[in-house]
Amino acid sequence: MLLKIYGKGRPFRLFVAGLHGQEWQDTSDVLLNIERPSSGTLAILPVVSRGKYISTLDGDFYKGMGKLIVDVVEECQPDIYVELHSYSSENFHKLVSSTRINEIGVPGFSVLENNVLMGSVSPHIRRDHFPVEALCLTFEIERLDQSSKEFAAKMLRVVKECRSRDGFIEYMMERYPNVAKKAIEDYKKFYGS
Ligand SMILES: [Zn+2]
């Protein structure tokens, strides 16, 4: 297993990429190029599986090929957890669709810049393995798009310096208020509060 740990202490941030199929080709190097945080810990798992593609929304993912993530989460109890995925441009509309919640039970992604999408992580890991106050995010890079990759790297550099969920929300409220508001609404729907 390739788990790299930079820094020490809290907050503990865990970034994972290369979760399934060919995604490692677009995502692993982004994590490998991130520097250590100025305080606390950053752990990176650049490749989880190069095996076949099983969606993280499939209940079996985190029990099988994604079990490695659950093991690290259980052991380190991250305050901040980020999954970096990639998508093909033909799936863009499906991923950002406002009806995604009705179709597959998870909200559509928000669009940041350079076609980088941001959303929540699968309920299969969010609900079972993280406390309510943890910050759990997914970023989706458009495949084969260098500018998308660079923007995602920029966002990860922001998140690696965040100390809490509130710190990140503050950053987002300043720069992407609509995205931040949607994320908060989705989060409340998810926890029913
Ligand atoms: Zn993925």
The model's pLDDT over 30-84, given as tens digits with 9 standing for 90+, comes to 999 999 999 999 999 999 999 899 999 999 999 999 999 999 999 999 999 999 9
**pLDDT tens for each residue of 108-160:** 999 999 999 999 999 999 999 999 999 999 999 999 999 999 999 999 999 99
Q: How far is the CA of 85 from the centre of ligand 1 (A)?
A: 4
Q: How far is the CA of 27 from the centre of ligand 1 (A)?
A: 10
pLDDT of residue 1: 62
- Exposed (0-12), middle (13-18) or buried (19+): which is 109, by Cβ within 10 Å? buried
Q: Alpha-carbon distance 189 to 61, whole Å?
A: 24
Q: How far is the CA of 20 from the centre of ligand 1 (A)?
A: 6
Q: How far is the CA of 88 from the centre of ligand 1 (A)?
A: 10
Q: How far is the CA of 115 from the centre of ligand 1 (A)?
A: 15
pLDDT of residue 183: 87
pLDDT of residue 193: 53
Residue pair 156/84 in contact (Cβ under 8 Å)? The answer is yes
* Cβ atoms within 10 Å of 74's Cβ, excluding its own: 9
